Structure 1
Amino acid sequence: MKMTEGMIADAERTSRYQAKYERILEAASVLINDRGAKGMTFADVAQKVGLNTTSVTYYFKRKELLAAACYDRSIERLESFIAKGEAHKTPKERVRAFISANFDDLLEIRKGKATPYAVLSELRTLDEETQRATMERYRAMFRRLRTLFGAPANALEQAAFTARTSVLLENMFWLPIWLERYDIEDFERVKIRTFDIFENGISAPEQAWEPHPISLDAVIPEAGSKNSLENFLRAATILINDRGYGGASVERIASELNVTKGSFYHHLDAKDDLVLTCFRRSFDIIARSQHAADESAGSYWQHLSSSISTLLEVQFFHASPLLHGTARQSLPPALRTLIFEESTRLARRYAGMMMDGIAEGTVRPVDSLIAAQMVMSMLNSAYDGRTWAKRLPPEKAKEIYASTIAFGMFGNGMAG
């Protein structure tokens, strides 16, 4: 059929509309990554794309709708990576293809040939009505990713596949942060070594999951009085984990503890101070678990697994979990860098345990720096698995979740 002048004009208008729509999403995604969803404004988006604010509101009536569209775009990207995995036959091939797609995308971004997508850390800060459809799409994406591991034979394997999916996805979310420290030329090597750990784990053959019990009293700071800083940090950590930075207001934290806002400002000057202090509290808990594990008997593999097991106990079952790493996105860039450096110091301590274990023969020869970042990511994702973990006996929940990195993702879901 021959196109008329009117049809051509309509097509050009549609093309221009779509091009501006994409530019707005790209600009908003960069701002979300830089300032968080709450810090992204129509005015800043308009300035980035060379439009006026009214033009942006023509496409998106509310800021929350623009943020949701950015998150939908990020989920769509993950769905495209999953589709690449689905083209293969075996779970290993499918997961390898999914991981490769993530690395390839980050390589294109590093080369300046693609723009970053919005990180999904602040999806929960959207109002309930706006986030509902996006959250459902996220859950559908998660279920689709889980099918890369195959069809579970029983309930225990179903639980193992869910744990693997959670750890795999969180590692892909954390990857852009630590991969910044590597040159482009190293990407292929890092990708191969990352998949090797997912495939074979970090423990040497014949090692079992036999962590030494560590008392949480030696790891978790005492709560103290109702108005104590520790109680504020506990309440704030839960609220930030569940509702995001924007959903954890000083008023809400004070309300949770039935104290005044003045009690909060007695300890901290501003909300950024609160997030920073929550992170440092969490890092202190991780460091205490590492020190307690080092002081226990047994091999270096047992030291490593004891620390991991203790922190999974904290994340799954304790009333005072670790602050989710996504909260760093809400901080100014300088503080984000500071938090990453402190997190990396803890990761290097895990790397040291692994290197000692490699020399001892209880840890498999792996790239310990990469493996340590993967362990930190696994521990971070565990908070989101609280509902999952409560359906299982506590020790079994920790064993299955830890096995994703300890023993690899393609066994029968049982450690050892």
Structure 2
Amino acid sequence: MPQAAAPPKARTRYAAKREAIMAAATAVFNDRGVSGFTLAAVAKRMDLHPVSLTYYFKRKEDLAAAVLRDTIARYDLMLDEAYLETEPPARLRRFVEAYFEVRRRIALGEAPPLAPFSEISLIEGDQQQPLMEAFRELYVRIGRFAKTPDMPWMTRPRRTALARLIIDQLGWADAWLGSYEPADYPRVAARIADLMLDGIAGRDQPWPDLPVLTLGSPVAQNDEVTRERFLIAATNLINREGYRGASVDKISAQLNVTKGSFYHHNADKDELAAACFERTFDLIDEAKRRAAEAPDGWSRVWLAVCSLILHQASGEAGRMLRHYAMAAAPPASRRRLRLRFQQIAHAFAGQISDGIADGTLRPVDPLLAAQMLMVAFNGANSMDPRHHPGSTDRVMEDYARPVLMGVFIP
């Protein structure tokens, strides 16, 4: 016998409760990352017993995947709006405007939060494949912004790099957008789109013919287990598996050492992770300090950013820790790390202001430009030359050049 349809009021209550669970789950996702996401944490935020959630979502993977699918669907709606335009620059501008309009409504409490994509690959079980397929399709749709006969230089690798850059840039807004009033979000959107479309180089500034800097200390080519090796191994694992996913056991296994050896070199995992961030900050400071010797603002910014991009892309001297690793760090550490990232952004903004003053950089919003540059070099590990034929030349052409000169430039 067919099951009777639920009364309208019951359906409404079910939908409202499910929506409330999704909103709470997204907040937990943002706060704790994939590895710290549990039904118990969502239930605690809602002051419910965890068992009550299983009526709506049987497993935490089901709820986490639902949260991410919802965010992908909301991005698709932004893209639908963008594709009302016919020209690539107009599409990109409208997409950015749509994103910051959603963020404005979230800030005003008129819409639920968006989930971050930074750890989407960590979702396990039978939800992983369809979720990743939906995410890849999102990338393809963004890349199609530039698929036009008028731009033959926008090859598939470059369109993929463009999509990754846009997603990373918008996701990093979580770190700085709270400094702006919601009423200012449309102005922020216009300036972000302007930076993406036209870069920061001043009019007629050539692409510098300078050797990039070699950053950090050379990795010892022997089997000696050092503190530096622990920092590099932990950074790679945290970047790949998240803060909580990079356990002491996994870090030790990466170096083929015992847990006893781990604790001989490190106090604990939290102390090691904090040191990984300090190493990241040291690399950025080194790039800024050494690039300061270049003759003008454009050359200084170019040298610092391109050196950091290639350092992060190659990984040969140990990558920097991705900024999204902050999501699952202890709250006190997270506040300190966010402050440090913003201090770095202000330092880059000062360099950009100097370049505007000497005429080698075009007039842009220095702080927003600095945020964009930080995302570019922090996220450049996706451009690993080992997976991109042409080695570092392709990284510079498909990634660094569009960041600094404008995403659609030939």
Of residues 245, 261, 267, the one that matches 2:259 is 261
Of residues 403, 406, 410, the one that matches 1:405 is 403
* In 2: Cα distance, 1:387 partner to 1:16 partner: 52
Q: Find the counterpart in structure 2 of residue 117 from structure 1.
A: 114
Report the alpha carbon displacement of residue 123 of structure 1 after superposing the two structures with TM.
2.0
Of the structure 1 ranges 36-45 and 165-174, higher mean CA displacement relative to structure 2 is found in 36-45
* In 2: Cα distance, 1:100 partner to 1:64 partner: 32
Report the alpha carbon displacement of residue 50 of structure 1 after superposing the two structures with TM.
5.0
What SS does the corresponding residue of 1:59 show, helix, strand or coil?
coil
For 2:25, give the aligned amino acid: A
C-alpha RMSD over aligned residues:
2.1
Please list the CA deviations of residues 242-298 of structure 1 after superposition, one character each: whole Å capped at 9, or x if unmatched.
222233221111111111112222333332222221111111111111111112x43
* In 1: Cα distance, 2:329 partner to 2:146 partner: 36
Q: Find the counterpart in structure 1 of residue 124 from structure 2.
A: 127
For 2:130, give the aligned amino acid: A
For 2:58, give the aligned amino acid: K
Counterparts of 1:145-164 in structure 2 under 5 Å? 145-151=142-148, 154=152, 157-164=155-162
Instruction: Specify whether residues 305 and 128 from structure 1 end up closer, same or farther in structure 2 by C-alpha distance, changes over 3 A only.
Output: farther
Counterparts of 1:58-97 in structure 2 under 5 Å? 58-97=55-94
Please list the CA deviations of residues 32-72 of structure 1 after superposition, one character each: whole Å capped at 9, or x if unmatched.
21222333332332244454322211222221221121111
Q: Find the counterpart in structure 2 of residue 380 from structure 1.
A: 378
Gaps of 5+ in 1: 1-5
For 1:321, give the aligned amino acid: R
Q: Find the counterpart in structure 2 of residue 221 from structure 1.
A: 217
TM-score (norm 2): 0.92
Q: Find the counterpart in structure 2 of residue 323 from structure 1.
A: 321
What SS does the corresponding residue of 2:321 show, helix, strand or coil?
coil
Paired residues of 2:205 and 2:360 also in contact (CA < 8 A): yes
* In 2: Cα distance, 1:103 partner to 1:222 partner: 42
* In 2: Cα distance, 1:341 partner to 1:51 partner: 34
* In 2: Cα distance, 1:156 partner to 1:370 partner: 25
Paired residues of 2:402 and 2:409 also in contact (CA < 8 A): no
Counterparts of 1:11-410 in structure 2 under 5 Å? 11-49=8-46, 51-127=48-124, 129-151=126-148, 154=152, 157-210=155-208, 212-216=210-214, 219-223=215-219, 226-295=224-293, 297-319=294-316, 320-386=318-384, 390-410=388-408
Instruction: Specify whether residues 350 and 47 from structure 1 end up closer, same or farther in structure 2 by C-alpha distance, changes over 3 A only.
Output: closer
Paired residues of 1:389 and 1:397 also in contact (CA < 8 A): no
Of the structure 1 ranges 258-267 and 351-360, higher mean CA displacement relative to structure 2 is found in 258-267
Give aligned-pair identity as a percent. 35
* In 2: Cα distance, 1:108 partner to 1:390 partner: 39
Q: Find the counterpart in structure 2 of residue 3 from structure 1.
A: none
What SS does the corresponding residue of 2:363 show, helix, strand or coil?
coil
* In 1: Cα distance, 2:246 partner to 2:377 partner: 22
* In 1: Cα distance, 2:329 partner to 2:343 partner: 19
Paired residues of 2:197 and 2:406 also in contact (CA < 8 A): yes
Paired residues of 1:214 and 1:293 also in contact (CA < 8 A): no
* In 2: Cα distance, 1:247 partner to 1:44 partner: 17
Instruction: Specify whether residues 123 and 290 from structure 1 end up closer, same or farther in structure 2 by C-alpha distance, changes over 3 A only.
Output: same
Paired residues of 1:36 and 1:330 also in contact (CA < 8 A): yes
Report the alpha carbon displacement of residue 332 of structure 1 after superposing the two structures with TM.
2.1
For 1:161, give the aligned amino acid: R
What SS does the corresponding residue of 1:336 show, helix, strand or coil?
helix
Of the structure 1 ranges 334-343 and 157-166, higher mean CA displacement relative to structure 2 is found in 157-166
* In 1: Cα distance, 2:224 partner to 2:14 partner: 55
* In 2: Cα distance, 1:273 partner to 1:405 partner: 34
* In 2: Cα distance, 1:43 partner to 1:128 partner: 19
Report the alpha carbon displacement of residue 155 of structure 1 after superposing the two structures with TM.
6.8
Q: After the TM superposition, list the runs of 4 or more consecutive aligned residues in structure 1 that deviate by more than 4 angstroms.
A: 152-156
Report the alpha carbon displacement of residue 99 of structure 1 after superposing the two structures with TM.
0.5
Instruction: Specify whether residues 277 and 211 from structure 1 end up closer, same or farther in structure 2 by C-alpha distance, changes over 3 A only.
Output: farther
Paired residues of 1:163 and 1:404 also in contact (CA < 8 A): no
